[in-house]
Amino acid sequence: MANAKGTEDNLMEKIVALSKRRGFVYPGSEIYGGLANSYEYGPVGAELKRNIQNEWWKTFIHGRSDMVGLDSSIILHPKVWEASGHVSGFSDAMIECKKCHTRTRADHLIENHFADRQESVSVEGKQEAELDAIIAENAIKCPVCGSFDWTPVRKFNLLFETHVGIVPEAQSKVYLRGETAQGIFVAFKNIIDSTRVRMPFGVGQLGKSFRNEITKGNFIFRTLEFEQAEIEYFFDPETTDWKGLFEGWKRDMEAFITGALGVRKENLRWREHGDEERSFYSKRTEDLEYRFPFGFKELWGLAYRTDYDLNQHMKSSGVDLSYTDPATGRKFVPHVIEPAVGINRLLAMVMLDAYTEDGDRTYLRLKPAIAPYKAAVFPLLANKPALVERARAIYGGLRTRFPVAWDDRGNIGKRYYAQDEIGTPFCITIDFGTLGESADPSEKGTVTVRDRDTGAQERIPEAELGEYLHGKIYR
C-alpha cells in the first residue's frame, strides 16, 4: 500500500539521507567539517532547482502579458538598505547561552518550548524585554546543554556586510542583498522609461539573497544564502481595487504550487498576519504555508506594501519615482503587492510531498515536467555490445530533446531503484526483443518503457519514443 509521506516523524531524516545519497543536496563545505545553514545542490538537485525556477519564470513572466523580468545586482548602493529600513530594522532577537555559547533566536526558543508541551504561543512583534520575561517566567533552558543561564535578548541584524575595494573603511561598507525586491524598486524608473509597460504591471526577479541566519536545523528551510523569486506588482490605488488583486494573487500562487509543482492542496493553508506581526506599512500580509514535518510553516509571503518602498527611495535618492498615466495624465506613486518565495523552500516542499514508500519501493512522485531526468535508458545487459550500441543510439537521440540518464551498472532492479529515488518518470530498456532476437518477432524495433508510479511496462516503437515521452511529460 503506497504511503504518500512515509511516517511523519522521520520523513525529514529520510529526505536528508536520500538527498545526500542520490545527489540532491549535500551539507555545505563538508570536507572542512561543514558550515552551519549552508548546503550544496548536487547534480540532480541542481536540475530540480533549475526546473522549479524555470516553471516560476514561465508561469509568472512569460505566461503573463502584465509582467516583465529583471536581474539586478546582489551588491547595491548601501543607501538602498538604509532607505528600505533593513539597516535599522532587519533583525532577529537573539539570545546566547552563557555556558555552552549556543546562539539561538529567542522567538524560536520560546515557540519550541511551548510546542514541546503541545501549546502554542504568539511572540510576533514582541520587544526584547518581553521575550526576556517569557523566557524567565517559564525557566526555558538551553536546548543544547540544558542550562538556564542566558544573556539578555538582543537584536541581531541579518544583513551580511562586506567592503568594496581593498581597504575596509566605513565609506566602503556594502551589504549582500537581504532580498531581491529592493533591486526592483531601485530599477523602477529605468523600467518604466525603457519599456512599454502600463499600470497595473509587475516586475519579477529570481536570484540569490543572503541572510545571517543563526537558527540551525530543518535542512534547507532556512539557509544563509537562498534563491528568491519575488514580484512587485505595481498599481494605481485609485483605479485598482487592491483586495481583488490580492485575492487574484492568492489564487495564482496556490495554482502554481498545486499545478506547476504538483503538490497536494491538502498540505497547504493560508495564514493572515495579525496587527503585531505585520510591518507597519503593510495593509495586509498573508503567508501560504506548507505542512512541513516540523509543522505548517511559511512557504510564500504575500504582502500589500502600499507605496512605502518607492516613497522611501524617493526621499532618500531625491529622484522622482512617480508614474504618470498616459491616458489620464494622473501622476501618482504606485502601490505594490509583493508575492515573495524562496526556491529552496519550494524544493524542500516538492521533495517532501513527492516522497512515497510502496512496500519495499521508494520513489519520488515528482511531476514529470520538474523531474531532474525525464527518462533513463538502459541496455538490458552491459556485456552485450549489440544491446549497448543500440541503447547508446537511443540515448543520444533522446538527449537532444530531454535531460536523460544512462545506466548500465548492476541489474535492472537496482537501476530502477536508483531512478525511482531521483524521481525519473520513465525507464527505457533495450533488450533482445528490440534487436529482433526474441521469440516474439513483433518486439523488433520496440523498447520497454516502465512507469515510475505504477511500475507498469509497455513496449513502444523506438521511432515513436520521443513523441510518447513528450506527451506524457508535458501533458
Cell numbers at 224, concatenated = 544563509
**How many other β-carbons are positioned within 10 Å of the β-carbon of residue 308?**
18
Q: From the CB of 211, what's the least distance to ligand ATP, in Å? A: 5
Sign of the CA dihedral with 274 first, then 277, 283, and 288 last: negative
Among 233, 300, 363, 373, binds ligand ATP (CB under 6 A): 300
Site string for ligand ATP, 151-190 (x = CB under 6 A): ----------------------------x-----------
Nearest residue (CB) to ligand ATP, 82 versus 289: 289
8 A C-beta contact, residue 239 and residue 337: no
Nearest residue (CB) to ligand ATP, 150 versus 226: 226
Sequence-distant (6+) residues with CB within 8 A of 64 are 202
Nearest residue (CB) to ligand ATP, 34 versus 436: 34
| Region for residue 455 given its phi and psi (left: phi exceeds 0; alpha: psi -120 to 50; beta: otherwise) | left
- Segment near ligand ATP (CB under 6 A); pick from 294-302, 355-363, 385-393, 425-433: 294-302
Q: From the CB of 213, what's the least distance to ligand ATP, in Å? A: 5
What distance in Å separates the CA atoms of residue 188 and residue 237, rounded to the nearest whole number? 17
Nearest residue (CB) to ligand ATP, 349 versus 377: 349
Q: From the CB of 446, what's the least distance to ligand ATP, in Å? A: 46
Q: From the CB of 234, what's the least distance to ligand ATP, in Å? A: 19
Tell me, by CB under 6 A, how many residues bind ligand ATP.
Answer: 16
Strands 284-292 and 268-272: antiparallel
Give 89-157 as a DSSP string: H-EEEEEEBTTT--EEEHHHHHHHHHHHTT-----TT--HHHHHHHHHHTTPPPTTT----BPPPEEEE
Q: From the CB of 103, what's the least distance to ligand ATP, in Å? A: 16
CA atoms within 13 A on the CB side of 349: 27
Nearest residue (CB) to ligand ATP, 107 versus 420: 107
The reply on whether position 232 binds ligand ATP by CB under 6 A is: no
Q: From the CB of 43, what's the least distance to ligand ATP, in Å? A: 21
For the chain, what is the total number of helices (H) and then of strands (E)?
A: 13, 24
The reply on whether position 298 binds ligand ATP by CB under 6 A is: yes
8 A C-beta contact, residue 270 and residue 288: yes
What distance in Å separates the CA atoms of residue 111 and residue 126, rounded to the nearest whole number? 13
Q: From the CB of 122, what's the least distance to ligand ATP, in Å? A: 14
Site string for ligand ATP, 74-113 (x = CB under 6 A): ----------------------------------------
Nearest residue (CB) to ligand ATP, 212 versus 322: 212
Q: From the CB of 32, what's the least distance to ligand ATP, in Å? A: 21
Nearest residue (CB) to ligand ATP, 102 versus 182: 182
- Ranked by CB distance to ligand ATP, the top (closest) residue is 342
Interacting residues with ligand ATP between 385 and 414 (CB under 6 A): none
Q: From the CB of 222, what's the least distance to ligand ATP, in Å? A: 4
Strands 201-210 and 225-235: antiparallel
Nearest residue (CB) to ligand ATP, 200 versus 301: 301
Interacting residues with ligand ATP between 309 and 368 (CB under 6 A): 340-342, 344-345
- Distances, alpha carbon 32 to alpha carbons 27, 28, 39, 112, in Å: 11, 9, 13, 30
Burial 181-209 (b: 16+ CB within 10 A, else e): bbbbbbbbbeebeeeebebbbbbbbbbeb
Nearest residue (CB) to ligand ATP, 346 versus 387: 346
Nearest residue (CB) to ligand ATP, 213 versus 431: 213
What distance in Å separates the CA atoms of residue 330 and residue 351, rounded to the nearest whole number? 48
Instruction: Write phi, then psi, for 301 (nearest 5 degrees).
Output: -95, 145
Site string for ligand ATP, 197-226 (x = CB under 6 A): --------------x-x--------xx--x
Q: From the CB of 49, what's the least distance to ligand ATP, in Å? A: 12
Nearest residue (CB) to ligand ATP, 342 versus 368: 342
Q: Distance from first CA to last CA of the chain, Å, rounded?
A: 27
Nearest residue (CB) to ligand ATP, 52 versus 340: 340
What distance in Å separates the CA atoms of residue 38 and residue 226, rounded to the nearest whole number? 9
Q: From the CB of 192, what's the least distance to ligand ATP, in Å? A: 25
| Nearest CA-CA partner of 260 in 471, 454, 51, 61 | 51
The reply on whether position 291 binds ligand ATP by CB under 6 A is: no
Query: Could you say which DSSP state residue 160 is in?
Result: P
Residues interacting with ligand ATP, by CB under 6 A?
179, 211, 213, 222-223, 226, 228, 298-301, 340-342, 344-345
